[in-house]
Structure 1
Amino acid sequence: MDVNILTNKRESASDVLTVLALLFSISFLVSCGGEPEEGELIIRAEDITRADSTRTADSLSPADTLGPVVSDTLPEPDSVTTLIPDISAPDSTSAIEPDSVECPWERIAVQINGSIYASLQDRVAEPDILGAHIVRCMWWDSDPWNGMNAGDSLYVLIGETGRENQVIALRYVPREGTSNAAFSVYSFRMSGDNYPSHYYSDGTEVMKQLNFMPITTFEEMTGPCGEPRGDHHHTGVDYKAPEGTPVRTCRGGSVTRVNWNQDYNGFCVEIEIGSGYTEIFLHLQGVAEGISAGTAVEKGVIVGYVGNTGVTSTAAHIHYQINDENGNPIDPYLFYSSHRRRLSASDMAAFSTFRDRCDAWLRVIPE
């Protein structure tokens, strides 16, 4: 599996701007849910925010709400201490001198030779972990496993970001003569979100949101449907989230079974959502009260809680999957509609300054 790196930036028009990119450090492991013997199901929630920044439990009906942020697990967005140092921006962002402010993060330049992971072997202490972080940012619009070419280059800033993903900013430069397009990504926390996410240069979020999510808040997607995993491909999607975060059905229907193949799946729930299609939730901390085979549930009802159960789970997350009438997995992002968020005008001011500063630092990374 190859790696993707995202970059962050904030921009301001004032002479002196304190860039406060909320990047608090949380030890984060690559969580994955494996595939159960009878077919794993992980679904992707449809268009909502990654942290419940635009909706509140009080403003939504039980059928519509995605659940409140877990207050005893997650800090309030405004109470999180920033890990990004103060950076004063000059009047003109085009005049930024890369050496005018010391770069607070590690800078790495990597030329692709084989996979992203192999290319990182002699460059960083934990190439598999950083490689996974890079890949998570690239898989949305490119193929980091099979689409990279020998001679392509990655320029990366890595450090504490407020979640396990270490990528502060990343620039991908394809080898001359290939059809791949260059791009940059930046880690930035949208106002109201509990965690930072990665954004392209224009303020568009790299990750796509389903129109209804099975969880209210999460750090990031750590495993897409179809991701190569040794001798198989991932059959659903994985969202890393704090243990105890409520998990909700995205469509509603009839519960067909709970806690089958439990050694592998952990606590789990399967729901028939119509026309033979099912949604499955794996590795739960526990199944919600009242959820059992034969129970009818409406869209948005809590069916369980994020956990770290089952032998294939290595960190708290929810594995969500959709199966067709024949038991074949379907990418939830193909089954449901999705969208991308964009930063607001106020967020773009800070993001642009941060982005330009990161670009200046990325330009002077030694080969």
Structure 2
Amino acid sequence: MSARDASPASCERTASTGGEALSVHNLTKSFPGRTVLAGIDLDVPSGGSVAVVGPSGCGKTTLLRVIAGFEQPDAGSVSLGGRVLTGPYGIPAHRRQIGYVPQDGALFPHLSVGANVGFGLPRRARTRDRIAGLLERVALDADMATRRPDQLSGGQQQRVSVARALAQSPCVVLLDEAFSALDAGLRSEIRSAVGEILRDGGITALLVTHDHEEALSFADRVAVMRDGAFVQVDRPREVYLHPADDGTAEFFGEVVHLSGQVRDSYAETALGRIAIPSGRDDGGVVPGGGPVALTVRTEQVILGAPDDAVARGVVRSARFLGSAVRCEIDVPGAGTVVARCRPQDAPEVDDEVGVSLAGDARVRGR
């Protein structure tokens, strides 16, 4: 069957049992003066989720718009369940069975909540029961259908936007910075609720965000984008603990730079010994030993009593961040070292503390 012959019904038949696999191959897109997507490859399994994360302007939203059908690629393809959506006989956006949730919800202010949810449905399908079921699916009361968007909170509006995306029985839901307009507490709550809705429905999901914490907590895999290309696609734990390069390491949180001397599978540093994992492109043992530049996460720097510690330092600042305290410690031979610790365990400024390392280090430049 050609892309021209494919219809939304072929995807809708599988919606009750889950989404369909999304595949992007060698996708390229340029605008005057710059290349935005430079040969992107990405596979999202049926019912799976991927978070695309990266700095502003790296091409994240353009990728979503090409998948949705709002932009046409210069080269490459987008496939859904084995059906090619792009090309000379590509499927238009409204027939792709792809739900799209934008950053601000984009609800129509002159329509009721119910009319917003049912906007893309055939008139005969816009029944009260259908709208009520969709609202209940996103944990909203059915009686909200008669309200206007301006009578809802920001979180409720975003849930309505998700309900509208689900109304089409989509194979895939695309979320374009869908939670960034919400305040911090509500953002976490709505993000978790939407993730649960998509997982329970077996719906394939692709989230675009510039927030590394959001990416790590939302999806099965994280795709790190830079300058229109992916530099790493892996499980959240792997991306955080074993980043592909220095830029990725620093994007996902503050790091501490150390110098050391390699001894077999570990390095001796001013803060003590730390392991260097072998068999990884991002942190293998330096051949033949010798000096090495390392990075560790701030939470790997452990503060304790100065007695019997390998290294000692003096706390020069302690900044309260809520769930953690960021401390700067002057350590002879290591300079200023940053550590994050629990508020209950945090030292005071001018305290002398013992400093040690936990876990393993990453070799810089690998």
Same fold (TM over 0.5): no
Higher strand share: 2
Q: Which has the higher contact order (CA 8 A, sep 6+)?
A: 1
Higher helix share: 2
The TM-score normalised by the length of structure 1 is: 0.24
The TM-score normalised by the length of structure 2 is: 0.24
